[in-house]
Structure 1
């Protein structure tokens, strides 16, 4: 191409470019929109107050006040219209509040403290931390003192309600205990005559014996004398002079009762007396048998040993029923009553529970431990519980009659007043003062304030308190002092 033709082509290109620029400026030619223009048209400028500040690099770091990153970059302010809300109603309300909602929109009744404090304002304001007060609309507040929570919040905070019903109010008292022998099930073998031991039976300490088993064979001169006298009296057919004053009702056939009565007083069994009468001879020894079934606690005799009247030869205990001696703290003594059910667990038998009942409350307090002993009868058929074994005792105190009660988690206790949240339906909850009675395992007796069948909040009540300004609703139950201005008047 010649230099002249190249110059002409360049001039033509410049002229076309200038014409296009002029056409675009005058509107005769529509130029394509730049990326910035597209973003500006799709996302209008943010409006509203600053809600919080976010990390400029898009990291999950936020701040309620202006701040800089570690490398010196300033956090980006997020305005009200840019905030993401999971509650669509709240988001719409915020947009309406910021952009002057059109006619027909919900009317704002007042603004409440964002931290749940009992403080309201008729106009938008900030608290001491710079947080905006939250708008309360007409359908979110009522003059009856109830509060309303949106369905979305109810679901997120996991609100649960139960119906007020009747339950047995029982309080479980826990105490340590020790297994002891039932004193009424101990028998002592102590002859009432002097003698000596001919032979001890196959019995040692710890041996389990049955009633009637042979414990020992003994010799006693007093037994032999009275047995011989018995034969003489039966042969003569009359009663000796020293038996003349025996009441007729105690005399046996033939009036011979003197020797028999003396043998019985010496501890001889009727079986021995009948044997003497039948055999018509006096045996040289006398057999001592176990008076009850049980375990031998003591064996004090040996073969050939002499003894005096009253000396203890054996001690036998029946362990089929034992005592559990529980040490109950001084503050719990008044709640324990005879006949109440008891559960006992031991280290020796994990997972096994022994059941019994309270029988006796000992009338003395141990000053060293500030506890009182409570005696519990425990059936022990398989002899699993051994004397001096430790156990954990649980006493179910309280009456068996049912009482109107609510779960403990339903009660909001401020110390000087107790409140429950009653579910009125449609997201409304009414704080109601109640009067409490006894406290049991998981339940508290209600004397007044709610009726059977009312639904009360048992889970999420404290979150409802924070989310719905419960304290402001509670103020409606208190009589306003004529000399004290309200929070709304004070804020004005």
Structure 2
């Protein structure tokens, strides 16, 4: 077999190189043509977001769709536009559509048991954040308390101890010892001296019969003087001195204050005429204003403790005398008439006093600190804590206040832990509206609220 010659091999090699170069050129031109051609549209993977309908509300600050606006302190009331809350002086807060969807998801997870370690708590607060916010817990407890009311009252004269100084005969006021109203007098102190001309003749006749020794006629003359209302003390003075007495002094029957003067010196006095009125002050009245809603808790005989700003260290004790059967239409209050012991005379009419009324018997009540209750006018809420630092709002029905505590009629049980301070800081974060939706879907920050 003959071997190919060297020229033949060179020719074949050149032919192969030419074919390779030609193929390269063709491929480069085809690629350039493909690059200038329009690309095919990619397949759609998701439908475009629909434009909001004409009824949608968009928050201009965030661009999020708003479902409605509400007051965080009264979340049950919804509004269709922003503005001031009619309940409190604050702006309404928007509720966004994505928050509502999150609420539905979290609520469904809680219903099916997929809420993780939430254990039904509204939110969780780490011990570090609790310390930073100053959150303090208190225990719901039963306690024996007395029904107590704190009121305001004004002192006045005790009309039941008012005495009247009157003239029994016709005469003239020779001297008035009590010169003006509001003068303090003691029992037996002279008030007025009367000159009674009709008493002179019977006294002289009686003295003459005594000197004559005619005892029978003297006794008859003495009975006549009694009929004429001549006081025995005046007759005794006439017997001692042997002279008819022209003047007679009226004295104060009680110690107290002259509240009224009905005569002046040299004026004529007639039978039944009031010379003066004197009010005793050893027992003084205190009129306290009781709101009509609290009237059922007030009864006669309740113990009263009263004090006034001038002597805060001094407390006066008394009792409820009666409830006056009328209501003040302006203040919607009923006046309770209280009687205080004022033997030292320190209390005078017109003084404003703080009053505390205590019931006769004690009762067991379920109590929480008053500061633990969050009120919004129509609703009352307490933040209840659990052992895993969880906090949830619970609607309660509060009753009466006992000092720093408030009775809970329904909503809580003895032994539960409630937030006694710092709850408004928690409320500002959770809004008491949808605590589970707001905090359940987001990853908690370390050492913060979950």
TM-score bracket, normalised by the shorter chain, equals 0.5 to 0.7
Give the match for residue 448 of structure 2: none
Please say if residues 145 and 362 of structure 2, whose CA atoms lie closer than 8 Å, have aligned partners that are also in contact.
yes
- Cα deviation, 1:167-202, whole Å, max 9, x if unaligned, reads 636565555x54432212322221111122333447
> Taking CA–CA contacts closer than 8 Å with sequence separation of 6 or more, which of the two structures ends up with the larger relative contact order?
2
Is residue 295 of structure 1 aligned with residue 257 of structure 2?
Answer: yes
Displacement of 1:328 in angstroms is 4.5
Distance in 2 between residues matched to 1:298 and 1:345, nearest whole Å: 27
Is residue 341 of structure 1 aligned with residue 318 of structure 2?
Answer: no
Give the match for residue 401 of structure 1: 362
Of the candidates 196, 199, 203, which is equivalent to residue 220 of structure 1?
196
Give the match for residue 352 of structure 2: 391
**Which secondary structure state, in structure 1, belongs to the residue aligned with residue 167 of structure 2?**
coil
Is residue 363 of structure 1 aligned with residue 339 of structure 2?
Answer: no
Displacement of 1:362 in angstroms is 1.6
Q: Cα gap change, 1:351/1:267 in structure 2, threshold over 3 Å: closer, same or farther?
A: farther
Distance in 1 between residues matched to 2:189 and 2:107, nearest whole Å: 96
Give the match for residue 162 of structure 1: 138
Displacement of 1:119 in angstroms is 4.4
Distance in 2 between residues matched to 1:279 and 1:151, nearest whole Å: 98
Q: Cα gap change, 1:344/1:360 in structure 2, threshold over 3 Å: closer, same or farther?
A: farther
Displacement of 1:428 in angstroms is 4.6
Give the match for residue 455 of structure 1: 417
Q: Cα gap change, 1:332/1:283 in structure 2, threshold over 3 Å: closer, same or farther?
A: same
Please say if residues 151 and 289 of structure 2, whose CA atoms lie closer than 8 Å, have aligned partners that are also in contact.
no
Distance in 2 between residues matched to 1:390 and 1:396, nearest whole Å: 18
Please say if residues 151 and 288 of structure 2, whose CA atoms lie closer than 8 Å, have aligned partners that are also in contact.
no
Give the match for residue 275 of structure 2: 313
Please say if residues 337 and 358 of structure 1, whose CA atoms lie closer than 8 Å, have aligned partners that are also in contact.
yes
- Which sections of structure 2, spanning at least 5 residues, go unmatched? 1-60, 63-97, 109-113, 442-450
Distance in 2 between residues matched to 1:229 and 1:116, nearest whole Å: 115
Of the candidates 189, 192, 204, which is equivalent to residue 168 of structure 2?
192
**Which secondary structure state, in structure 2, belongs to the residue aligned with residue 142 of structure 1?**
coil
Distance in 1 between residues matched to 2:326 and 2:236, nearest whole Å: 50
Q: Which has more strand, going by share of residues?
A: 2
Displacement of 1:460 in angstroms is 3.3
Displacement of 1:283 in angstroms is 2.9
TM norm structure 2: 0.56
| Matched residue count | 332
Give the match for residue 427 of structure 1: 389
Q: Cα gap change, 1:297/1:401 in structure 2, threshold over 3 Å: closer, same or farther?
A: same
- Cα deviation, 1:11-37, whole Å, max 9, x if unaligned, reads xxxxxxxxxxxxxxxxxxxxxxxxxxx
Please say if residues 146 and 429 of structure 1, whose CA atoms lie closer than 8 Å, have aligned partners that are also in contact.
yes
Q: Cα gap change, 1:178/1:422 in structure 2, threshold over 3 Å: closer, same or farther?
A: closer
Is residue 410 of structure 1 aligned with residue 372 of structure 2?
Answer: yes
Q: Cα gap change, 1:229/1:184 in structure 2, threshold over 3 Å: closer, same or farther?
A: farther
- Which sections of structure 1, spanning at least 5 residues, go unmatched? 1-63, 66-112, 124-135, 241-255, 476-486, 488-492
Give the match for residue 235 of structure 1: 215
Q: Cα gap change, 1:380/1:260 in structure 2, threshold over 3 Å: closer, same or farther?
A: same
Displacement of 1:405 in angstroms is 1.0
Within 5 Å, give how 1:437-476 maps onto structure 2.
437-448=399-410, 450-461=412-423, 463=425
Q: RMSD of the TM alignment (CA)?
A: 4.9
Distance in 2 between residues matched to 1:213 and 1:469, nearest whole Å: 73
**Which secondary structure state, in structure 1, belongs to the residue aligned with residue 400 of structure 2?**
strand
Distance in 1 between residues matched to 2:250 and 2:203, nearest whole Å: 16
Distance in 2 between residues matched to 1:122 and 1:352, nearest whole Å: 58
Displacement of 1:310 in angstroms is 1.5
Please say if residues 116 and 469 of structure 1, whose CA atoms lie closer than 8 Å, have aligned partners that are also in contact.
no
